[in-house]
Structure 1
C-alpha cells in the first residue's frame, strides 16, 4: 500500500507541473512567424534566461520604443522578433549587466502593422500583417474576398518613401495573368478599398426591369438579355439609351445591339409598332 506521505508528495509535484504548463508563455505552435515586424501598439513579453527579475510585459510605443530594465528605452519598432531579441541581448551585454544574455520575446497581442480593408468585401476591418511579404491577394483573402456587388478593381492607398501612394489594381488580373505584377506588397497602415460594381438600368417593355451589374465588354444585346429580353409587346429594334455625358447632361440615342454599355446607362425598351 502506498503511504499517505508519498501520495502527498506525488500530488504536490503534479500540481507544480500543471501550474508550469499554465504559466508557459507560448508554445511553438502559437508563436508568431519569425519575420513578423513589431509595430506601434504591439504588446510583448520580454524574458531573459535565468534573470526572472528582468521579465516584463510592455507595449511598443508610437515611436517604436520599449523600456527594458537596466538598459532603459530601446527602439525595436520595425524589427523582426528575432532581431529585437538580438538587439536587447546585445544591449544587456555591452552595458555590462549580463555576460551571455539569452532573450526571448513573446508577442502577446498584435496591434501594430495593421492594414485596413473597406468597401464591398465580406469582412471589412483592420487586419495584422503577420509576415513581412504580405501581398494584395493575401489581404483580400483575410477580408473574405470581394462580394458579388463589388467592383473588379481594388484601390490600394498608403505612403511610400514619405509620399502619398495610390494604385488601382485589376482583381481578376491578379489571378488570370501569367505574371501578376500588380500583386504588390502591402505596408503597415495601407488601405484597400473595393467600390461597388458599376450598374446599368433597364425598364419599359422588358421581362425583368431593374438595375444590373455591368460585366466587362457588355453590349446592349447582352444587357437586354440580362433583363430577360423584350416582352411580347416590346421590340429589341425600338430601344432608347439614356447616357449622361461629361457635362452631366443626359443624352438620348438609338443604340445598336453591339454598342458597349457604360456605367449608369439606362435602356428603355419601347413597344413594338405592330
Structure 2
C-alpha cells in the first residue's frame, strides 16, 4: 500500500480520544474481591466479578458492580445487605486486578494480553509486548507505518507509527485504558472492521472475495445485545452504507452478501440503544470528529 494514501486520525480527534482515564479503578470481569462483613463470617468471602459484571452475595443475591469503583461498590454491597441486617460494616479489597489489561496484536514480538497496575502509554505497551520484529522471517516488513487503537465497541483511531517511534510527535503516545486493543498491521495489509455488538470487535485482514457474512463470522457473530435487524455495512470510501436483517442475510441472496472493499466497516448497534443513526452522523466526510477516519489522508503529525 502506498504510504501517501494511508489514512490517519486528525489531531483534534486524537486529543479527544486521549482524554484522562477514570480517576479510580473500575472493577471488571475476572477481578477477584475479598468482601469482609464484620461479625458476619457467613457473609464474608472471595468473589470473582463475572463476565456480566455481577457478583453473587449470600442472602442478598446478585448485584452488578462491573464498571464501578471500589467505593461505589462498597456502598452498593452495604445497601444490599442492609435490607436484611442492621447497619452492616463492609470492607472490599481487590486482591487481583485481572480486568486491568489491554490486548496488543499484529507485528509485535509477543502479541497477546498485557496486565498492568497503572495504564501504560502506547510506547510502553509496545515495549511490554517485546517491541517490533527486527530479524528472522518477515523482518523486511518491520518498517511499519501505522497503528490502530480500538476503545470499546465503536471507537478507533489510526496514527503514524513512524512518527511516534521517531519522536516527532509526542501527542501520538496515547494514554491507554483497560480494555483497549492495540493493532499494528503489516505495511501492506488491507483491512476491514467489525465494530459494535459483535463478540470480537476489531480489524481484520481483507481476503479475496471476502463477504459481509465472512467478516461477521470472523468477528464471532452478534452479541446477545446486537440488533439482528440493523446489520450495517458502511463504505467510507464512497460515503455509502447498507442495512440488512440478519435473517435476510442468511438466506441465499447474493445481492445482500456483498463482497467487501478496503476500509469497509461492519457495524451492529445495540438492540436497546439503536446507534446506527449516530454512526452515520459521525461518518459524514465533512465532520471534523469521526469514529472512523478512512476519508482523511495525510499524517497524524500534521
TM-score for the superposition, normalised by structure 1: 0.48
Greater relative CO, 1 or 2 (CA 8 Å, sep 6+):
2
Query: Comparing both structures, which one devotes a greater share of its residues to strand?
Result: 1
TM-score for the superposition, normalised by structure 2: 0.44
Rg larger for: 1
